[in-house]
A and B are shown apart, each in its own frame.
Chain A
Amino acid sequence: MLRILQFLYSLRSFLLFVLLEVLAIGLIVSNNSPQGAAFFNSSNALTGSVFKTRSDIVDFFSLAEANEALLSENAGLLQHLKTINAIPDSATIQLDSAFEAQFNFKGARIISNSLRFAQNHLTLNKGSKDGVKTGMGVFNEQGVIGRVKSVSENYAVAISLLNTEMSLSSKIKANDSFGTAKWDGKDATKTKLLYVPRHVTASPGDTIVTTGYSAVFPEGILVGIIESVDQSEDPNYLDVVVNLSVDFSKAHYVYLVENTRLDELDSLNKQSELENEF
């Protein structure tokens, strides 16, 4: 018995190594599920405040650009408002309940961002205190950015579109044929549109937008522009490369969108035994 203990004692550093490796791999695996609630990430108070201080300083230097982007978006919205708020001339009609606001919007700021890994995340400066919930969509005036993964009181972590775990239901605007946008982990300016059947006519320059099927994003938010279309090795589908419309290295201010009927949709899907893949 003593010899066994002595033997184990002489191997103690190796055993510790194995134990810690297993622990680390366990953490990697459990943390990689895109929906998983994780405690040890940059949404906790300490890491959040470190990143917030840094972004307070760094963002100061890009205020001019941010202002310009906001200005151009405001101009677009004003124009839009004009067409909606036409002066009533003869009669008003009560709108159907189907046109009730289904989406709520909120603003936030990115305080930490990564784009060089295969699994990239963003940290936002709004948390459960401000009404941010898991599963909300994140986008800015240029296009789709990601989806909220976990929320703490003051901060939230979102998985970026530049994450091999994230898939986004999207369609070609010209002919409404849909596919799944999924990043391949290589270039931070490009993504791929998967599952586009062969018979679809897609050509470089076509616009890719969200479908609205996924219940995370409303329909028609820009994703990118097709760069090239090739015949892939899979005989059923096309190989479509999309240039992302968002410059992830310069994204600072974002909007969060919440589908107010997500719970209802979820329970309906569950009733009919569908898996909602977002």
Chain B
Amino acid sequence: MNFKKLITYIFLVICLCLVQILLLKNLALFGVAFCFIYLLVILSFPISMRSFPLILISFGLGLLVDVFYDTLGLHAAAATFLAFLRPYWLKAIRPNGGYDDSNNPTLPDMGIGWYISYSLPLVFAFSLLFFIADQWGTGGLFGVLNKSLFSSIFTVIMAIIVQLLFFKRRRGI
């Protein structure tokens, strides 16, 4: 990862976290669909990235969001889980020819069909763990599933919109 790329990632982290904390904290469409747009950072790290630093960074990112949400540990636990699953899921949905070395797992590089099959299950796993931990001992399973499903769909749609607007093909991220 060269210096320019590093700067773009740091910029992405700051932008998405600010949006998450300041705008999306109390947003819930119809009371069920939450948006976890900061996951886009974890999702768009390079394919070749090792899982050890990935997990560490995700934990830190989750903890940062947690501090602002007053839900200490919830986002951290779920984001760590997402980062742990990511390499296995990338391996599972590898296209026939394998990945191109210069590609990132982002929408402009990989196309919309692949991107949805890549991000939706991962974000769903994140939401599932998040809402199970959040509603522990209160809501039933149906409420948890309901919220996780709609949140993951909403988050993926938002992630696609952000990438269409701001990500350019073959230039950094």
Q: Which residues of A contact B (CB under 8 A)?
A: 12-14, 16-17, 20-21, 23-29, 31, 38, 40-42, 44, 47, 50-51, 54, 112-119, 121, 123, 157, 164, 184-187, 249
B173 nearest CB across to chain A (Å): 23
Contact (A114, B134) CB under 8 Å given A28-B74, A50-B21, A54-B22:
no
Which of B6-14, B36-44, B48-56, B157-165 binds A? B48-56
A186–B67 touching, CB < 8 Å: no
Partner of B55, one of A17, A54, A119, A164: A17
Q: Are A21 and B31 in contact (CB under 8 A)?
A: no
Q: What residues on A are CB-neighbors of B59 within 8 Å?
A: 20, 23-24
Closest CB pairs A-B (n = 7): A27-B73, A24-B77, A28-B73, A121-B70, A13-B51, A185-B138, A31-B72
Contact among B21, B52, B77 with A13 in the assembled complex (CB-CB below 8 Å): B52
Main secondary structure of the interface of B (DSSP, over half): helix
Q: Are B77 and A25 in contact (CB under 8 A)?
A: yes
Q: Which A residues touch B45, using CB under 8 A?
A: none
Instruction: Show 18 residue pairs from A and B whose CB-CB distance is below 8 angstroms, ordered by the A residue.
Output: A23-B59, A23-B76, A24-B62, A24-B73, A31-B73, A38-B72, A40-B63, A41-B67, A41-B72, A42-B68, A47-B67, A47-B68, A113-B26, A116-B28, A119-B71, A123-B70, A157-B70, A164-B137
Given contacts A42-B70, A116-B31, contact A12 B52 (CB under 8 A): yes
B139 within 8 A of A: yes
B94 at the interface (CB under 8 A from A): no
Cβ–Cβ < 8 Å partners of B66 in chain A: 27, 40
Q: Write the residues of chain B forming the contact surface with A, with a CB cutoff of 8 angstroms.
A: 21-22, 25-26, 28, 31, 34, 50-52, 55-56, 59, 62-63, 66-74, 76-77, 80-81, 83-84, 87, 133-139, 143
In the assembled complex, the CB of A247 is this many whole angstroms from the nearest CB of chain B, namely 13
> What residues on B are CB-neighbors of A51 within 8 Å?
68
Is the beta-carbon distance between A119 and B134 smaller than 8 angstroms? yes
**Is B68's CB under 8 angstroms from A50's CB?**
yes
A184 cross-chain contacts in B, Cβ below 8 A: 138
Q: Are B76 and A20 in contact, with the CB atoms below 8 A? A: yes
Q: Is the CB of A116 within 8 A of B34?
A: yes
Q: A27-B73, A42-B70 are in contact. Are A118 and B134 (CB under 8 A)?
A: yes
A119: chain B residues at CB < 8 Å are: 71, 134
* Cα(A257)–Cα(B77), bound, Å: 36
Q: What is the minimal beta-carbon distance from A56 to any residue of chain B, in angstroms?
A: 12
Is the CB–CB distance between A116 and B55 below 8 Å? no
Q: Is the CB of A16 within 8 A of B31?
A: no
